[in-house]
Amino acid sequence: MIVVVDDRELVKSGYTSLFGREGVPSAAFDSAEFGEWVSTAADSDLDAVEAFLIGNGDQALELPRAIRDRSQAPVIAVSETPSLESTLAFFDSGVDDVVRKPVHPREILARAAAIRRRLKALANHTDIGPIRVYSDGRDPEIEGRTFPLPRRERRILEYLVANRGRRVTKQQIFNAIYGIFDEDVEENVVESHISKLRKKLRKRLDFDPIDSKRFLGYLIDWD
């Protein structure tokens, strides 16, 4: 999920629409309400955030420090003033990157992925047994062969692999895939997506690598 912070309603709705077209959930706040949310949000909600996008607002330069108190997700500022002073002010506030409008949402996603790779010293893929999962939107591979998946199932597999060895709940998966503020989708849809994903993995691997325990959640690992 991408969190957009901007005091202009038109800008917030515009980004939400653009990220939605890319299949990426997003949530939008003005700077005042975001400051309250980031300081009180549950850890599981913040864990679902892939990046924070900071735009125009009276408190814009104060927000990166507040974010860092709760999250290590990339913080990207969008500058509308092509000046060295404004760019330096954003970097001094603690952002990871500054982009200038207009900027395509795919560029923002690519920059966020690059920042995460640097922060975690990760390559653009993760191997778990014969499964290779990419962080750039490509379909995963199994034993070197492409394993095509619908977008939701692919993102669930990516999330499980990113948390390999750690059990994650249905709610955490839902937040990561649909966003924490999507009230139009029932949380139980996750079970349907995971069921389909497990069936496909079982068919390709001859066994199911995803372990599930009632009330505890799901886990993928490879000994």
- Delineate the domains of the chain, giving CATH numbers in brackets: 2-120 (3.40.50.2300), 125-220 (1.10.10.10)
Residues of the chain with pLDDT below 50 are none
The predicted pLDDT at position 121 comes to 54
- Specify the pLDDT at position 165: 87
Q: What is the DSSP string of 81-141?
A: S--HHHHHHHHHHT-SEEEESS--HHHHHHHHHHHHHHHHT--SEEEETTEEEESSSPPPE
Check residue 69 and give its pLDDT: 86
Give pLDDT, residue 223. 64
What is the structure's pLDDT at 184?
61
144: CB partners within 8 A, 6+ apart? none
Give residue 189's pLDDT.
Answer: 87
Hey, what amino acid is at 154?
A: R
Phi and psi at residue 169, to the nearest 5°: -85, 165
Distance spanning both ends of the chain, measured CA to CA: 30
Specify the residue for token string 């009230």.
183
- CB within 8 Å of 222: residues ≥ 6 apart: 128, 129, 131, 164, 209
- The pLDDT score that the predictor gives to residue 185 is 64
The pLDDT score that the predictor gives to residue 4 is: 95
